[in-house]
C-alpha cells in the first residue's frame, strides 16, 4: 500500500485503535472533529453516495455518529457499527438508530442486508482494508453502493513521517485497485477537505454488480 520508506502504522491494530479512541472519545466531538471532518466534507460524502429515501444504509466505523447524522438527513434506515465501546456510547446519546459493536473486517450482518455501505475516517485504522471491502461487498445487495473516505497522505515531510507511523494512506490508483479487487464496478474517486486543506480526504465509491460476472 502506498509508496515510500518503512512505515510503522502503529494504529492499524484493532486493540491499539480501540485504546486510542477510548481516550480520544472524550474530546472527539468537542474540539477535534471540526478541525479534520467538517459538515461540508460530510455533505460531499453523502452526495457522492447518491442516497435515496427507502435505502437501508450501514455506516462502518460510525464513531460518535457525525457521519450517521448526515446520512439520516437523507434516509431513515441507518445502522452504525464501530469497534470502540466509548465511541458508541456517545453516539447512543445522540442517535436513535441501531448501533452495533463490531469489526469492519467481520461485519455481523447477513449477505445483501444493505443498499449502501458507507464509511468515513475509519479505513486508515483497519489492518486489512481488503477484508473490510470484501465484507462491505458481501453485505450489499446487488446494485448496492459502497463509499469509503480516508485521509490523503500529508505532503509536508515532518507530518508525513508522523502520519506514516500512525496510519494507512493510499492514493487514487490504489483506491481503484482495492475496490475493483473487492468486486466493485464503476469506481469513482473524489477529494474533499476543510478550508485549510481542500484535499484532506480521498473518497472512493463503487457499485456491486447487479448480476454476477
| Binding residues vs ligand SAM (CB under 6 A) | 14, 17, 21, 33, 37, 61-64, 66-67, 82-84, 87, 103-105, 120-122, 125-126
Q: What is the C-alpha separation between 200 and 91, in angstroms, rounded?
A: 24
193 φ/ψ angles, rounded to the nearest 5 degrees = 180, 175
Q: What's the closest the beta carbon of residue 211 comes to ligand SAM, in angstroms? A: 30
Partner residues linked to 96 by β-bridges: none
C-alpha cell at 61: 466505523
Helices 129-139 and 172-181, packing angle to 10 deg: 50
User: Given the complex with ligand SAM, which of 106 and 110 has the nearer CB atom?
Assistant: 106
At its nearest, how many Å lie between ligand SAM and the CB of residue 161?
21
C-alpha to C-alpha distance for 74 and 86, rounded to whole angstroms: 26
Q: How far is the CB of 105 from ligand SAM (least distance, A)?
A: 6
Q: Which is nearer to ligand SAM, 7 or 33 (CB)?
A: 33
* Closest approach of ligand SAM to the CB of residue 104, in Å: 4
Nearer to ligand SAM, 101 or 143 (CB): 101
Q: How far is the CB of 11 from ligand SAM (least distance, A)?
A: 8
Which grid coordinates are listed for 186? 464503476
Q: Which CB atom, from 104 or from 145, has the smaller least distance to ligand SAM?
A: 104
The strand ranges marked E within the chain are 56-60, 77-82, 99-101, 114-120, 140-151, 185-192, 201-207
Q: Which is nearer to ligand SAM, 191 or 209 (CB)?
A: 191
Amino acid at each position: 500500500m502506498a509508496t515510500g520508506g518503512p512505515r510503522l502504522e502503529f494504529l492499524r491494530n484493532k486493540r491499539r485503535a480501540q485504546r486510542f479512541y477510548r481516550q480520544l472519545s472524550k474530546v472527539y466531538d468537542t474540539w477535534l472533529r471540526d478541525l479534520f471532518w467538517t459538515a461540508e466534507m460530510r455533505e460531499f460524502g453523502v452526495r457522492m453516495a447518491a442516497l435515496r429515501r427507502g435505502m437501508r444504509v450501514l455506516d462502518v466505523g460510525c464513531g460518535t455518529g457525525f457521519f450517521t447524522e448526515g446520512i439520516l438527513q437523507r434516509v431513515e434506515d441507518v445502522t452504525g457499527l464501530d469497534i470502540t465501546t466509548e465511541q458508541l456510547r456517545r453516539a447512543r446519546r445522540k442517535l436513535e438508530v441501531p448501533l452495533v459493536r463490531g469489526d469492519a473486517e467481520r461485519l455481523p450482518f447477513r449477505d445483501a442486508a444493505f443498499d449502501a455501505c458507507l464509511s468515513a475516517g475509519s479505513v486508515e485504522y483497519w489492518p486489512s482494508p481488503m477484508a473490510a471491502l470484501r465484507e462491505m461487498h458481501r453485505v450489499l445487495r446487488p446494485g448496492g453502493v459502497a463509499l469509503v473516505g480516508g485521509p490523503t497522505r500529508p505532503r509536508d515531510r515532518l507530518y508525513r513521517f508522523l502520519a506514516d507511523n500512525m496510519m494507512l494512506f493510499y492514493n487514487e490508483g490504489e483506491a481503484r485497485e482495492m475496490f475493483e479487487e473487492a468486486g466493485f464496478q464503476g469506481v469513482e474517486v473524489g477529494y474533499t477537505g476543510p478550508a485549510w486543506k481542500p484535499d484532506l480526504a480521498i473518497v472512493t465509491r463503487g457499485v456491486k454488480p447487479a448480476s454476477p460476472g
